[in-house]
A and B are shown apart, each in its own frame.
Chain A
Amino acid sequence: MISLETYIFITILPPLFVCLITPLLSKNENLRDALGPVGGIISSYGAIEIFTAVLEGKNISIKLLQISDGIFISFDVTPLGAIFGLVASVLWIFAAIYSVGYMRGNQEKNQTRFYTYYAIAVHAALCIAYSGDLLTLFIFYEVLTFSTYPLVTHKQNELALKAGRLYMSILVGSSVIFLLPAIIWVWILTGSLEMSKHGVLDGYLNYEHAPYLLAMFAFGIGKAALIPIHKWLPAAMVAPTPVSALLHAVAVVKAGVFTMLLVLTNIFGIDFLSKTGASIWLIWLASFTLLITSIIAVYKDDIKARLAYSTISQLSYITLGGALASATATQGAILHIVTHAAGKITLFFVAGAIYVGAKISKISELNGHGKSMSLMLLAFFIASLSIIGVPPMAGSWSKFFLMLGAAESGYLFVLIVFSISTILNAYYLMEIPARAFFLKKEKEIKVKIPVLITIPTLCTCLLTIILFFAFEPFQNLTSIMVK
């Protein structure tokens, strides 16, 4: 019998080992490329065990290392963390297989370096998921930022350089200037860095100061991409597609909204928020972000850019769900992490597949090529339905809960925002398969998509459907979270 704490290590350590071993295997490419999926499977095993244990109401926490008095690196699995950890580790398997297909199909340089940093980014994301206190969270949040920099600038050309600068300056700047003092503020107020299920600030924080502290967190968590600090995400799209897929649709941005939700629920506490009304401004800002970025997405011709803006808008759903400060909405927000991750990673996979197979990156160039890559575009179609929220795709559940939560807490305008955004979603996502299938071809292109790309894409696509039916454990876990 392995103790529950060990499962934390079984989950978070494989990517670290992959990162350490990969450079040693730079000569033996097949072995090196097999490391990622294998690591992913081990991690997922640990994550599933943790998931079930948390579902049974067990408490898993461990203090790993004492940095100084009162400062620890500690892990403590919240239901939210268990979900995020599961999502990140399972999708890592597919992303790892996919990246092998992509990197080889595209004949990218410096593949060893790519896999090394890819693994460490996953490690950081998993550590964030299981982090037990604010400082651990912050530490791995920063590790995630710095480890993705070499990935974003992988091509090492001028465009990558500029994007890298924007990426770093926004993410590092926001986290250093706002998030760190916010964390220290909480530390000074409550005397510890710990989080608790019902929030820690009640009784310590002056009600008038609550919106300011929340603002410091909201703008400090740049990875959640609220509107004035969202620019880094489209910029990061210069990275190879596996990076955009796993990191900028799952690990990094989800780490952002995960942190945001954790702050809202476990630092402020839902009750505290609804009592003080500290998060009302955040509802407005998130709604604004949601609408504006949906509109921007419509005008983007580059597939990945369009998906990036779509991601920003979907992230705001989650932030909005947290900010509504009602149990149902929070549940919906957490579920949206899962469903959106499965859907968006599929969309990115397809975008990458189209790029590798046909060297097409613009939507307007896609006209009429539907037949030659019908399988991929079908996957794209299904995942789009999930993002839009059409049953029987997973996305419909989370949207349902979000809308229910909005209605419960009485913010009816949020419902309108959701509706408009859904229409826009449908428009800008459906345009892609529609153009490919129904418009006339301009010129012939030979399409050849590697099988290592096709398989993971179909798998994640299937996942969006499976999640619709295998939804109960997630819902149960979220109800533990908000109870």
Chain B
Amino acid sequence: MTDIIIKNLPILVVLCPLMMSLFVVLIPNTFISWVVTLFTTLITFIFSLLLYQEVYQYSSISYALGNWIPPLGIEYVIDKVSIIPIIIITLISFLTTFFASKIMPAEINNSSISKVYSLWLLAIAGLIGLVTTGDAFNLFVFLEISSLASVALVAMGAQKDKQALVAAYNYLILGAVGATFYVIGVGLLYGITGTLNLADLSSRITEINDNKALVAGFGFMIVGIMVKAAVFPLHIWLPRAYAYAPSAVSVLLAATATKASLYILARILFSVFDISDTLITLTLTYVILPLSIIAMFAGTIMAIYEKDIKRLLAHSSIAQIGYITLAFAIGTKASVAAGFIHMFNHALIKGALFMAITSMSFYLNKRITINTLSGLGRAMPITFSCFVICSLSLAGVPLTAGFISKLYIIKASISAEGVWIALLILASSALSVIYLWKMIEAMWFHEGPKDLVIKENPTVYIALLMITFLNIYFGLDASIVVNSSFEAADQLLGVQK
């Protein structure tokens, strides 16, 4: 029995949430549907941990779907690279589902809760599938599964605020355009190489040189994925989608959605194509690097002037995505590893921050803006402490996870003789303290309404405490994250560097 499970793990992590999403929709009771969802995410998380173990035993696992041998059949590949986003997605989705128990019914009609959970699992399945699949076209399908499910989830926010509909609509249109761009790219590459298997594609691309269709296909693919990953300036769908989605959905999307696409971006840049190729070098230095730097500052500055807190955090996400893509753009082994470290840590940080804000809006039962934050520090000490800790983590203060990622990004950029890049990163992270401090000051200094008495609810804050704990833990003992990321970078870039 365990043998069969172990053997089929790569497909099980995808199938488990996918199948359960079909089942959850049939459950009429809101509580039971939550329990089933929680259970599913827990199982998926356990599966991904098992996979982690397997990957480190065999270095890479290939699973031929329906026993069709790759490259003809669809192949699921899990290696040391893809296991990182898988762990991120499954871990965060478990914590978020746990967190959602009280939050979800507060914002969604009872009749539609099981549907929301169904979409929730579907989105998770899509994201995991996106990461596991080794087939370029299958990747497109999962891209669309996850983004359609996310769009529907965002639109559920309309029960609270109608702006969610427009946010969802924009997300849908941009997402669809992005996915279509990706498909065009895949089509062109298929036209040249005759294969859809990513590994096979990679080996055939090296045989072809100087083909314009190849360049065009590459461009289409990259742009398509960059839309999904919300790389500046293709990020415009993100702030509103995160801000007006139901609170629990914001947490899930903020922590996981872009991570999967960022992983795909890295995979295409470094694994399908070759880092030593001039095409990639040019793309990295003249496209992704400048865009990331602009993103770092634009996101931070927009966040400084933003008054709506969920939007503020979303803008900050854009800046943080900028750090990750910047690390990729530097293109050394250390920097790519740093990118993966930050990918993991940022998921923890942003998930926690959104959770804290969500809890606040749950207790107050209104939208959180910079004005409603007044006096909350005293009214809800636990939530406030978690919020402060994770803010410090985002700012990269020592003893938190954020510090580790910053340390490695800076180190990588200085080693790659990009001292000015390091200074820009630090300048932008110093700027990020401004908006974090703006929020903390509001909670700490301003006097709230007189009648503000709040009793914090354990079912809400336990998940928050857990994720805050992880933020501190991975700041104190980062060996697992750091080592895994370096192994991943090794495998992604090959041995030559």
Contact = CB atoms under 8 A, between A and B. Distances in A.
Interface stretch (B75-83, B85-93, B124-132, B474-482): B474-482
15 contacts: A66-B479, A68-B479, A68-B483, A142-B397, A143-B399, A156-B444, A161-B445, A172-B395, A177-B430, A181-B414, A181-B419, A184-B411, A185-B419, A188-B414, A188-B415
Contact of A69 (B396, B406, B483): B483
A180 B426 contact: yes
Interface string A169-206: 10011001100110011011000000000000000000
Interface residues of A, number: 30
A138 interface: yes
Interface in A139-167: 139-140, 142-143, 146, 153, 156, 160-161, 164-165
Nearest to B447: A156
Contacts of A177: 423, 426-427, 430
Contacts of B479: 66-69
Nearest to A67: B478
A434 interface: no
B437 interface: yes
Contact of B430 (A160, A164, A173, A185): A173
A188 B411 contact: yes
Chain B: number of interface residues, binned into ranges: 20 to 34
Contacts of A69: 479, 482-483
A2 interface: no
B101 to A, nearest CB: 29
A67 B401 CA distance: 10
A65 interface: yes
B84 interface: no
A298 interface: no
A168 interface: yes
Q: At the interface, is chain B mostly helix, strand, loop or mixed?
A: helix
Q: What's the dominant secondary structure at chain A's contact region?
A: helix
Nearest to B434: A169
A172 B430 CA distance: 8
Contacts of B427: 177
Contacts of A156: 444-445
A67 B403 CA distance: 11
A139 B479 CA distance: 17
B392 to A, nearest CB: 7
A438 B468 CA distance: 60
Contact of B399 (A139, A184, A188): A139
Interface in B406-435: 406-407, 410-411, 414-415, 419, 422-423, 426-427, 429-430, 433-434
A168 B441 CA distance: 12
A479 B404 CA distance: 38
A69 B486 CA distance: 11
Contacts of B448: none
A165 B437 contact: yes
**Closest 3 A/B residue pairs (Cβ):** A139-B398, A68-B482, A68-B478
A181 B430 contact: no
A164 B440 CA distance: 12
Given A177-B423, A188-B415, A67 B429 contact: no
A173 B433 CA distance: 9
Contact of A65 (B396, B407, B476, B483): B476
B406 to A, nearest CB: 8
Interface string B459-497: 000000000000000011111001100000000000000
B411 to A, nearest CB: 5
Given A142-B398, A176-B396, A180-B426, A67 B414 contact: no
Contacts of A173: 430, 433
A181 B423 contact: yes
A14 B430 CA distance: 33
Contacts of A140: 398
Residue among A68, A165, A168, A169 with the highest chain B CB neighbour number at 10 A:
A68
A46 to B, nearest CB: 23
Nearest to B480: A68
Interface string B90-109: 00000000000000000000
A71 B341 CA distance: 15
B21 to A, nearest CB: 38
Contacts of A165: 437, 441
A140 B399 CA distance: 9
Contact of B392 (A146, A176, A180, A187): A146
A161 B441 contact: yes
A187 B422 CA distance: 14
A146 B426 CA distance: 18
